[in-house]
Structure formats: C-alpha cells, structure tokens
C-alpha cells in the first residue's frame, strides 16, 4: 500500500520500554529518594495544599489569608491534610490526587482573625429613582505555615 501523508500520525512514534525493566527502574528511583529523605539532604520544601476550596502553593514561614471563619482560636496549631504535591530542590512527590498522611505533615498557626475592608454593594437604576446601598464586611482568618515535614515511607 502506498504511503500517503495520513498513513502515520503526525506526532513522532514513541517506543515504550519493557515493563519489567521499568519496574526495576522505578524501584531503584524510589529507593534513592527514600535514602535522600532519610539522610535529610533536602533544603526547603514546598507543598501544594487544598484548603478552603482553594489550592495554595506554600513553603514554611509564609502567610495565607482566607475569607471565612475557622473554628480555631488565635494561636492554635492546625495540621493540614489534603496535600497534593510536595517538592524540594532535587525531587518532587506527586500524589494521585492526595498524598498519604504518614508521608507529609503540614502545620500552621492561626495568627489573626479580622474582618475585611468594608465593601460597598450598590444597585442603581437611572431615571427610576431606585438605589440600594449595602456595606459587606467579611470575616477573615490569617494563617502562618510553620513547618512542612516528610517521612521516608515510600513504596
């Protein structure tokens, strides 16, 4: 059969490696990463955390503000679950979609609970004499991320 421009797909054909070799390679990589974590060769860690219906990329000692009220008092330590991704300088651990709780530990403290600036909600129709003005003030909480820790229990 003659070869036309549509016989083969336009993307380059990729040959997948052997599954047995692949499994060996994976095990080796996992062991190396475990050793690195156990010896503590990572510098700063960053994590992607799902919190208050939003995903945040956080490191240690940084501030996060959310537009709701948490049930914790000022100065309480909070442990954040729902960690999607953890990374360091040389390696990253990606979860599908979450990482295990015995792998990562993210701790935060509630720093302050304030209200937002007064937002004005105004409705106006011209030539109808209709205007309504409402001032909306949302309660906010500010968290400071204390630490992100990982433990060498991969598999």
Partner 1 sequence: RYVRQLQRLQLLFSPTSADARGARQFVEEAALDFARRHPDVVLYVRPRAGLAPVLVAEYLNGTVREELIASKTSEEIVQLATKLAGQSGLDIIRIRKPFHTDNPSIQGQWHPLTNKPSALTVQGPRLQPQ
Q: Choose between 18 and 115: whose C-beta lies nearer to partner 1.
A: 115
Distance CA 86, CA 102 (A): 13
Among 82, 87, 98, 138, binds partner 1 (CB under 8 A): 87
Sheet holding 46-51, edge to edge: 54-58, 46-51, 83-87, 92-94
Q: Is 45 in the site for partner 1 (CB under 8 A)?
A: yes
Angle (nearest 5°) at CA 124 between 118 and 127: 155
Stretch that binds partner 1, among 3-11, 24-32, 83-91, 121-129 (CB under 8 A): 83-91
Per-residue 3-state assignment (H helix, E strand, C coil) for 62-88:
EEEEECCCCCCCCCCEEEECCEEEEEC
Q: Is 13 in the site for partner 1 (CB under 8 A)?
A: no
Helix (H) or strand (E) holding 39: helix 19-39
Minimum Å gap between C-beta 88 and partner 1 is 7
Q: Choose between 12 and 19: whose C-beta lies nearer to partner 1.
A: 12
Stretch that binds partner 1, among 16-24, 43-51, 98-106, 120-128 (CB under 8 A): 43-51
87 and 93 Cβ atoms separated by less than 8 Å: yes
Q: Is 68 in the site for partner 1 (CB under 8 A)?
A: no
The token pair that represents 132 in the structure block: 């309504």
The residues in 118-147 that bind partner 1, with binding defined as CB under 8 A, are: 118, 142
Minimum Å gap between C-beta 91 and partner 1 is 10
The token pair that represents 101 in the structure block: 């709780």
Q: Which residues bind partner 1 (CB under 8 A)?
A: 43-46, 56, 58-59, 61-67, 74-75, 87-89, 109, 111-118, 142
């Amino acid at each position: 059969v003659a070869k036309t421009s549509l016989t083969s797909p336009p993307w380059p054909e990729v040959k997948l490696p052997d599954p047995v070799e692949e499994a060996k390679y994976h095990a080796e990589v996992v062991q190396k990463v475990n050793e690195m974590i156990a010896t503590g060769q990572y510098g700063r860690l960053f994590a992607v955390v799902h919190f208050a219906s939003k995903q945040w990329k956080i490191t240690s000692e940084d501030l996060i503000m959310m537009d709701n009220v948490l049930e914790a008092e000022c100065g309480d330590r909070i442990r954040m679950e729902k960690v999607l991704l953890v990374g360091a300088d040389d390696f990253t651990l990606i979860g599908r979609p979450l990482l295990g709780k015995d792998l990562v530990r993210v701790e935060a403290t509630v720093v302050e609970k304030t209200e937002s600036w007064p937002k004005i909600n105004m409705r106006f129709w011209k030539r109808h004499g209709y205007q309504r003005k409402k001032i909306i003030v949302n309660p906010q909480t500010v968290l400071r991320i204390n630490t992100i820790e990982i433990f060498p229990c991969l598999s």
